[in-house]
């Protein structure tokens, strides 16, 4: 008999933790509920400018359009402990993946990868940062992270 697998836990990491990673967190929470998958989900930023702040109003509005309230989320900075606490850490872009590799502790156990590596045909791609762009960019972000969330659920269900 094989050992019971522990509950998977997923951390999404972008730069500010107010645009892309909170949307990814929201998308995976919703997708996991739909799929009946138990998974711990959180998000963080490599930067510390928005620690304690709610998501960008445009990210909140985007989540709301898709039926999800993220107004209670608060920004936090990724820590070394996250590499021991989570089973999977997904970087939203390649710069943040590099930043995570630099701070990863030697005893970190989390599987660290680029989020879009899960999407066939988009391996190596970044989720574009919508922060400095038009509002419409947030819907593009939502499409990317919700498709990736479906892929994460499929991967975790396959591993269960």
Which residue sits closest to ligand 4NP, CB atoms considered?
A: 16
Q: Please give the Cα distance from 19 to 34 (Å, whole number).
A: 23
Say whether 100 sits in a helix, a strand or coil.
Answer: helix
Nearest CA among 143, 134, 46 for reference residue 95: 46
Q: Using the minimum distance from each CB to ligand 4NP, give the nearer residue, 16 or 99.
A: 16
Q: Which of 14-22, 31-39, 64-72, 144-152 is the region at the interface with ligand 4NP (rule: CB under 6 A)?
A: 14-22
16 binds ligand 4NP (CB under 6 A): yes
The only residue of 85, 131, 137, 157 in contact with ligand 4NP, by rule CB under 6 A: 131
Footprint of ligand 4NP on 40-99 (CB under 6 A) = 45, 49
The length of the chain in residues reads: 160
**Cα separations (Å) of 84 from 79, 81, 89, 96, 122?**
10, 5, 10, 18, 28
Catalytic positions are: 14, 20, 129
Residues that bind ligand 4NP (CB under 6 A): 14-20, 45, 49, 129, 131
């Amino acid at each position: 008999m094989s050992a019971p697998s522990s509950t998977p836990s997923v951390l999404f990491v972008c730069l500010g933790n107010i645009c892309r990673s909170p949307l990814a967190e929201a998308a995976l929470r919703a997708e996991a509920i739909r799929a009946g998958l138990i998974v711990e989900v959180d998000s963080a930023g490599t930067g510390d400018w928005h620690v304690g702040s709610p998501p960008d109003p445009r990210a909140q509005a985007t989540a709301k359009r898709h039926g999800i309230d993220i107004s209670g989320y608060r920004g936090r900075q990724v820590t070394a402990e996250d590499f021991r606490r989570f089973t999977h850490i997904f970087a939203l872009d390649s710069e943040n993946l590099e930043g995570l590799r630099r701070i990863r502790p030697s005893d970190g156990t989390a599987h660290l990868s680029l989020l879009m590596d899960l999407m066939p045909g988009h391996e190596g791609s970044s989720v574009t940062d919508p922060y400095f762009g038009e509002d419409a960019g947030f819907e593009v972000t939502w499409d990317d992270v919700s498709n990736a969330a479906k892929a994460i659920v499929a991967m975790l269900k396959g591993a269960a």
